[in-house]
Amino acid sequence: MLVSGQTALVTGGGSGLGAATARHLAKQGANVVILDFDIERAENVALEFGGYAVKADVSDPAAVDAALDNATERLGGSPRIVVNCAGVGYAARIVGREGKLSFDVFEKTLRVNLFGTYNVMSHAAKRMMELEPLETGERGVIISTASVAWEDGQLGQAAYAASKGGIASMCLPAAREFARFGIRVMAIAPGLFKTPMMEGLPEEVAETITANIPFPPRLGEPEEYALLAEHIVTNSFLNGTIIRLDGAVRLPPR
- Helical H segments across the chain, by residue range: 16-27, 39-49, 61-75, 103-110, 116-128, 149-152, 158-169, 171-178, 196-199, 203-211, 222-234
Task: Identify whether 52 is a catalytic site residue.
Answer: no
| Catalytic residue from among 52, 118, 160, 225 | 160
**CA pair distance 145, 190, nearest whole angstrom:** 8
SS3 54: strand
Q: Please, are residues 219 and 198 in contact by the beta-carbon 8 Å criterion?
A: yes
**CA pair distance 192, 67, nearest whole angstrom:** 31
- Cα dihedral value 195, 196, 202, 203, nearest 10: 40
**Active site residue ranges:** 160
